[in-house]
DNA sequence: TATGCACCCTGTAGCAACTACAGGGTCAAG
DNA sequence: CTTGACCCTGTAGTTGCTACAGGGTGCATA
């Protein structure tokens, strides 16, 4: 498989594939006589793993650990669970933060009744944190 | 006010203050004989506005527009409202996305029952998008 | 045979919004 | 007169890509 095919097969930008190789997330594939990269099924599934994990918001370093784990099938599964649980906790915290933020923005946006900027409640609210109801 | 005082007064990193000056978000202040930056009350309130807006997740470019608006008090307030409303919509979308992601992660994490990586359901789920219940 | 076009290569620079030095100058206290 | 806290400029690093520039390869068509 050439890089363009792998790109289409996994929905990954070609530049991104080369980037993953450069940072050591994907192993360097064999080359054809013309120096084109030549991928196999192993590369495809590894790249799918990486992309799916990225979609789920794992960082590259987390993915590196998860890949190390799956490269050595005798290792304990607990670490994969720990990484995923930690990530889940981070996502939950992010959601909670954004919810506070949404409430604050809703309050701010609701205050605009038109008019000129001098009297703008939106701009006033942005300038003065003390109008806020919660920490963010 | 020297830069260290402004930093403490607004809870902003000194490097960040200089960065904002460099990108034209804060006007360059007067200098003392020793070439130290010397800030006034106007700088402090402008910086507070910027920091508060950043905490609410506005981008630098959005903040630039909001500042332009508040620098010209005769302008129409509607644009501030438009920027804030758009931002609110983005926050709401982000929350919805993260909620899907949280659900998927919860399902994945719940599948771990210990054991070795070869049988790990977490790693399996990460490798195969088809286990997912919704798009993310 | 030429030539057009899609594809591939390397290497480097850019994005957002900072943060972190390195290598220097200033100023007040002890 | 030296110590330490503060300030200065300029540049490079962070994360996870993306976008060139400037070239080479391979196949079909005129």
| Range of lowest pLDDT (A94-103, B43-52, B56-65, B68-77) | B68-77
pLDDT in tens, A105-124: 898 887 776 677 777 888 88
Strand D closer than 7 A to residue B36 Cβ: yes
Strand C closer than 7 A to residue B90 Cβ: no
- Categorize the per-residue pLDDT at B114 as very low, low, confident or very high, splitting at 50, 70 and 90: low
- B61 inside 8 A of chain A by CB: no
Cross-chain CB nearest to B102 (options A66, A95, A117) = A95
A120 to A46, A105, B58, B67: CA distances (angstroms):
53, 15, 17, 12
CB contact under 8 A, A73 and B117: yes
The C-alpha atoms of residue B109 and residue A83 are separated, in whole angstroms, by 9
Output the distance from B34 CA to D2 C1' rounded to whole Å.
21
* DSSP annotation of A32: -
The pTM of the full predicted model, rounded to 2 decimals, is: 0.84
Tell me what pLDDT residue B14 has. Answer: 97
The C-alpha atoms of residue A17 and residue A4 are separated, in whole angstroms, by 10
Closest residue, chain B, to A118 (C-alpha): B73
pLDDT in tens, A21-78: 999 999 999 999 999 999 999 999 999 999 999 998 999 999 999 999 888 878 888 8
In Å, how far is A44's CA from the nearest CA of chain B? 11
By three-state DSSP, how is residue B31 classified? strand
Strand D closer than 7 A to residue B110 Cβ: no
Angle CA B27–B33–B39, to nearest 5: 30
Listed as ranges, the nucleotides of chain C within 7 A of a protein C-beta are 7-11, 16-21, 26-27
In Å, how far is B34's CA from the nearest CA of chain A? 32
């Amino acid at each position: 498989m050439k890089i363009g095919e792998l790109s289409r097969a996994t929905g990954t930008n070609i530049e991104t594939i080369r980037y993953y190789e450069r940072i050591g997330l994907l192993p360097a594939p064999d080359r054809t006589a013309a120096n084109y990269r030549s991928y196999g099924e192993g590369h495809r599934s590894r790249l799918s793993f990486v992309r799916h994990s990225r979609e789920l918001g794992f960082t590259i370093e987390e993915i590196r650990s998860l890949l190390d784990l799956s490269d050595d099938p005798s290792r304990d599964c607990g670490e994969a669970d720990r990484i995923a649980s930690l990530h889940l906790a981070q996502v939950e915290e992010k959601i909670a933060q954004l919810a506070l933020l949404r409430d604050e923005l809703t309050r701010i946006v609701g205050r605009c009744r038109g008019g000129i900027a001098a009297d703008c409640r939106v701009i006033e609210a942005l300038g003065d944190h003390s109008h806020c109801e919660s920490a963010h």
